[in-house]
């Protein structure tokens, strides 16, 4: 069954010419007789010749490929970001290799080495929630492989970065809840070694301060992404002597599940408890009541990251670039009803 794969050598032999001529024809060089080229192309086609990218890339010392490491694409934020990366890359004619760290430091490291071994020309990375050190990226970046971190960025590597205005939008979201009359605002925070999570928490805290509201440690939940502990957190919040009257959650999944549980326990949304999520998933529109959320422009972030990276791959002495993409507060009914006091 395993018909030997056909190479330029085979084509050359069959046509009684040299393999350089075949190579020239196949790679669209001009200095070749039209007729010869014709014959070569025809035969290549007949034989279903597929160029060996390994050989080409080895020879060229570049792969025209960018490596992508994201936590996981079941998280639609990252799926959409990858979509943005691929769109821009396709336009530019560069290939993309996607890896998932599954939120694991060790997988992230493995992915990284595997991509570098495959000699990708650049990297786009959003670090795993477990990753709290950066020694794996440094030597690679210092060797001159351009890296663009996005969303979950790596602060102490002096590479390019694409992220959102976390602080500002968390501030704005919190302030929105406050002006709607909510006073006991709980915050479901992400891991604090992540730049994003830290800044969002800061925005929340500063908004409280600005409005002279007390900061209560008991209202701040330090969650891990996808920890499956939402039910536990909800129960905890509901049994507090002073139950919160609003929840600002690190992502929509947590917000929606929490809202669902509270509803089942007889709480009215948003009269008893308001909700505000993060990411503005499609589902926000369809839950009852529709969930207010922060529109986190995943696709644009991916696209921006790819733009920056491809640019750097083509102009290696460009300085690293930071780009901030604005997110947007989308107000729906889950935080919309209570009157201003």
Partner DNA sequence: GTGAAAGCGCTAACAA
Partner DNA sequence: TTGTTAGCGCTTTCAC
Q: In the complex, which residues of this chain contact DNA (CB under 7 A)?
A: 5, 7-9, 16-21, 23-24, 26-27, 30-33, 35-37, 51-52, 55-56, 58-61
- Toward DNA, which CB reaches closer, 59 or 319? 59
**CA-based R_g, the chain, Å:** 26
9: partner contacted, choices a copy of itself, DNA, none (Cβ within 5-8 A by kind): DNA
**Burial bucket for residue 197 (CB in 10 Å: 0-12, 13-18, 19+):** buried
118's tokens:
């495959």
- Toward DNA, which CB reaches closer, 44 or 208? 44
Look-up of token digits 């529709």 = 290
93/26 Cα distance (integer angstroms): 18
252/11 Cα distance (integer angstroms): 57
- Toward a copy of itself, which CB reaches closer, 94 or 177? 94
316: partner contacted, choices a copy of itself, DNA, none (Cβ within 5-8 A by kind): a copy of itself
3 state SS of 97: strand
Look-up of token digits 């991916």 = 302
- Toward a copy of itself, which CB reaches closer, 17 or 261? 261
CB of 122 to a copy of itself, least distance (A): 13
155/106 Cα distance (integer angstroms): 19
Per DSSP, 151 falls in state S
CB of 45 to a copy of itself, least distance (A): 11
CB of 96 to a copy of itself, least distance (A): 8
118: partner contacted, choices a copy of itself, DNA, none (Cβ within 5-8 A by kind): a copy of itself
Strands, E, within the chain: which ranges? 65-70, 95-100, 122-125, 147-150, 160-164, 185-189, 220-222, 246-249, 274-278, 292-295, 322-325, 328-330
260: partner contacted, choices a copy of itself, DNA, none (Cβ within 5-8 A by kind): a copy of itself
- Toward a copy of itself, which CB reaches closer, 139 or 227? 139
- Toward a copy of itself, which CB reaches closer, 36 or 64? 64
155's tokens:
């602060």
CB of 259 to a copy of itself, least distance (A): 8
287: partner contacted, choices DNA, a copy of itself, none (Cβ within 5-8 A by kind): a copy of itself
- Toward DNA, which CB reaches closer, 26 or 324? 26
Q: Strand 274-278 and strand 220-222: pairing?
A: unpaired
Half-sphere exposure of 251 (CA within 13 A, CB side): 20
Please, which residues have CB within 8 angstroms of residue 1's CB and are 6 or more apart in sequence? none
153/127 Cα distance (integer angstroms): 7
Residue by residue, DSSP assigns 52-78 as -HHHHHHHHT--SEEEEEES-TTSHHH
- Toward a copy of itself, which CB reaches closer, 201 or 256? 256
286: partner contacted, choices a copy of itself, DNA, none (Cβ within 5-8 A by kind): a copy of itself
Residue 300, beta-bridge partner list: none
283: partner contacted, choices a copy of itself, DNA, none (Cβ within 5-8 A by kind): a copy of itself
Which chain residues interact with a copy of itself by CB under 8 A? 1-3, 5, 48, 50-55, 57-58, 63, 72-74, 76, 79-80, 82-83, 86, 90, 95, 97-98, 100, 102, 107, 113-114, 116-119, 139-140, 142-144, 253, 256-257, 260, 282-283, 285-288, 316-317
CB of 17 to DNA, least distance (A): 4
8: partner contacted, choices a copy of itself, DNA, none (Cβ within 5-8 A by kind): DNA
Please, which residues have CB within 8 angstroms of residue 16's CB and are 6 or more apart in sequence? none
244/183 Cα distance (integer angstroms): 8
């Amino acid at each position: 069954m395993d018909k030997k794969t056909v190479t330029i050598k085979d084509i050359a032999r069959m046509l009684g010419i040299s393999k350089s001529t075949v190579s020239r024809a196949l790679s669209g060089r001009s200095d070749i007789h039209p007729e010869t080229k014709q014959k070569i192309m025809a035969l290549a086609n007949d034989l279903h010749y597929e160029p060996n990218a390994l050989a080409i890339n080895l020879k060229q010392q570049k792969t025209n490929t960018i490596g992508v490491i994201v936590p996981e694409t079941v998280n639609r934020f990252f799926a959409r970001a990858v979509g943005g990366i691929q769109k821009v890359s396709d336009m530019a004619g560069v290939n993309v290799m996607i890896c998932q760290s599954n939120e694991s430091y060790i997988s992230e490291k493995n992915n990284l080495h595997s991509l570098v071994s495959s000699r990708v020309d650049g990297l786009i990375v959003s670090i795993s929630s477990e990753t709290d050190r950066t020694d794996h990226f440094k030597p690679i970046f210092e060797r001159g492989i351009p890296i663009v971190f996005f969303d979950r960025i790596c602060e102490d590597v002096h590479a390019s970065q694409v992220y959102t205005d976390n602080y500002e939008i968390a501030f704005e979201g919190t302030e929105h809840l406050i002006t709607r009359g909510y006073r006991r605002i709980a915050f479901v925070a992400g891991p604090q070694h992540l730049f994003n999570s830290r800044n969002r928490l800061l925005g929340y805290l500063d908004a409280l301060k600005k409005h002279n509201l007390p900061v209560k440690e008991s209202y701040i939940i330090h969650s891990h992404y996808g920890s499956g502990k939402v039910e536990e957190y909800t129960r905890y919040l509901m049994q507090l002597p002073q139950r919160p009257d609003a929840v600002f959650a690190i992502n929509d999944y947590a917000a929606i599940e929490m809202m669902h549980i509270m509803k089942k326990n007889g709480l009215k949304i948003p009269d008893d408890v308001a909700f505000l999520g993060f990411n503005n998933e499609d589902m926000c529109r369809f839950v009852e009541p529709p969930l207010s959320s922060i529109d986190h422009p995943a696709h644009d972030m991916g696209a921006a990251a790819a733009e920056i990276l491809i640019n750097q791959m083509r102009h290696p002495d460009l300085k690293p670039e930071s780009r901030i993409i604005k997110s947007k507060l989308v107000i729906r009914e889950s935080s919309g009803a209570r009157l201003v006091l």
